[in-house]
């Protein structure tokens, strides 16, 4: 069985509307939840990790997040696994010297972004965005 959020974002949204699911309300709820969690993540990054707001605070993390969604083929669990993969690649730049790997610092810093470029270039496989993405829901005449 599909979740109400997935029903509200896919092309059968009209079918979900006919079944009584409030498609517009679920889309608003999903948007508000994403905005709230993104705001909390930004506050955590600025206050807990760095203790101040500076320019280029995220250091390209938004790019890696978009690539993780594309590599995860717009599904929740594969996207979470892609995020873990990119996080491990970023953590490698700090762990590699401790593990005795003597790689140039530039290679370690660019490794998550190099993996992201490889993922988007087609090594992960074809990924198509959802058909209803960016399209407003218009209730059909009954």
pLDDT digits (tens, 9 = 90+) for 110-136: 989 998 888 888 766 677 787 777 777
* DSSP designation for 133: T
Q: Is the pLDDT of residue 38 over 70?
A: yes
Percent of all residues in the chain with a pLDDT value above 70, rounded to a whole number: 85
Give φ, ψ of 111 to 5 degrees.
-60, -45
CB-CB contact of 139 with 15 (8 Å): no
Give φ, ψ of 76 to 5 degrees.
-65, -55
Give φ, ψ of 22 to 5 degrees.
-75, 90
């Amino acid at each position: 069985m599909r979740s109400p959020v997935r029903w509200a974002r896919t092309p059968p949204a009209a079918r979900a509307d006919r079944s009584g699911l409030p498609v517009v309300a679920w889309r608003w709820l999903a948007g508000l939840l994403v905005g709230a969690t993104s705001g909390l993540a930004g506050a955590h990054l600025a206050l807990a990790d760095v203790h101040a707001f500076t320019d280029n605070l995220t250091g390209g993390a938004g790019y890696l997040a978009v690539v993780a969604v594309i590599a995860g083929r717009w599904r929740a669990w594969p996207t979470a696994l892609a995020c873990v993969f990119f996080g491990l690649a970023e953590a490698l730049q700090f762990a590699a010297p401790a593990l005795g790997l003597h790689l140039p610092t530039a290679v370690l810093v660019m490794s998550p972004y190099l993996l992201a470029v490889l993922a988007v270039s087609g090594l992960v496989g074809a990924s198509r965005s959802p058909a209803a993405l960016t399209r407003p829901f218009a209730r059909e005449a009954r």
